[in-house]
Amino acid sequence: MADLASSATDPGDEDLLVAGVDSSTQSCKVVVRRAATGEVVRTGRAAHPDGTEVDPAAWWDALGVAVADAGGLDDVAAIGIGGQQHGMVVLDSAGRVIRPALLWNDVRSAAAAAEMVEDLGREAWVARTGLVPVASFTATKLRWLRDAEPEHAARVAAVALPHDWLSWRLRGYGPADESPLGPELDALATDGSDASGTAYWDPARREYDPELFELALGRPLRGAETGDDGDAVIVPRVVAPSEAMGTLEQDVDLPGGARASRGLVVTAGAGDNAGAALGLGLAAGDVAVSLGTSGTVFGVTDTAIEDPTGTVAGFADATGSRLPIVTTLNAARVLEVIGGLLGVDHAELGRLALQAPAGADGLVLVPYFVGERTPNRPDATASLLGMTPGTTDRAHLARAAVEGMLCALADGLAAVERTGVTVERLLLIGGAAQNEAVRVVAAQVFGREVLVPEPGEYVAAGAARQAAWVVTGELPGWSIPTTSIPADPHPEVLERYRAAVG
């Protein structure tokens, strides 16, 4: 870290550029910023395929296209990659992906998660990892692989996460016929925020738990006391937040004609929510509600988080602190489904919603369209309650959709507060946060002032801010304009929703 900082330029150098990547479920975004001010210089984007399992090669292709779309990296000093958490990327000894990666929103491992909870008990899992296994977490997907595809499980030489694997490829590693440095699995690296979402890494001790890994895959970690080293599996080393995974010692060709040049610093990166927290500059007392296809509620604290119910996961953040988080599978997805039913886009759905009163006259949408992670109901379906001749119209249905989405996240906020996290500022981010009806209803459902930062790619911003931290030796403070939505409490909305959920 000291060598990197001393070999770079002054932290205030206006010409120093850094890049951040957000490799999300839907797409890959690349943002190039000025390290001193955070000013966006240029951006690029490429789509990811749909589905809950994806060949990681699609992410690598998209990264190349997005880098090219952003004007390349030739003038960039450092790059960080933020990525969707939990995705299971399994590699063989030749560095090849064994099967498509199971993503965080793939719930086929729900039964495996229940078995793993039964194996040790909720309290033991929380004490050792800060969380209770659900289908999203990597460990449960490895247990599913062990039981459902034993021939694939037997070939596993290393287990990585999406941002780990992309960073590894960007640094020049991979199958021998696809990369200049070849399949050096020991070069795999990650950061604490992403490692803490595996359910076999302890964010308190900041160490892997070999017993839990073996409980998942049925194979030991390499170097662990248990098992035959010949059967052991590699996991990425965990890099400190202000340190780099490495510096490119030769040019690396990316798909789509892009290139990463010799001397480019690749930082630790982060899981997507930790990246967003870093991009927003969250501090103690700040909590963000993120409205992507899925929804999250997360804050930053120096206190260990323990929630035996499993509602709040006590992840690590991207600075060395903790990131208590609640995740739902259904957020902006709810608006897309109901908007599709009504034949309107998000903007028109919002206009319709504001034509109905708070509470939608008793119409309640429980939005479990793809099951749910919080509460842990992977097999649940959505339901609409309170239909009468007066409530069964377009405006009331639109209002119920917006309220249902936000009420689910209000329950998440309440769960975060129950762990002892203090909420002094509540920030609303994500594409759906730009909808006027969403902002109005958020101030009613949450019953407090809501701050809406200007639109931005905050995961990529966090990865870029980390990159600036590594090459300058200082974590920059980038200002973010926000819009304030005054509190307008309507507690009856959340009360009706909770009664409907049961």
Catalytic residues: 272
| CA torsion, ordered 144, 147, 152, 155, to nearest 10 deg | 100
Instruction: State both tokens at 425.
Output: 């500022």
Return the residue matching tokens 């780990």. Answer: 164
- Of the candidates 7, 272, 327, the one whose C-alpha atom is nearest the C-alpha of residue 161 is 272
CB 233 within 8 A of CB 223: no
Residues counted in the chain: 502
- Helices marked H in 419-486 — which ranges? 436-445, 458-472
Q: How many CB atoms lie within 10 A of CB 231?
A: 11
48, 58 contact by CB (below 8 A): yes
Q: Which residues pair with 316 in a beta bridge?
A: 322
Whether the bond into 324 is cis, omega within 30 of 0: no
Place of tokens 């010409």: 15
DSSP 83: E
Strands 78-83 and 270-271: parallel
Alpha-helical segments (H) within 90-170 = 110-120, 122-129, 138-148, 150-153, 162-170
Q: What residues form DSSP beta bridges with 180?
A: none
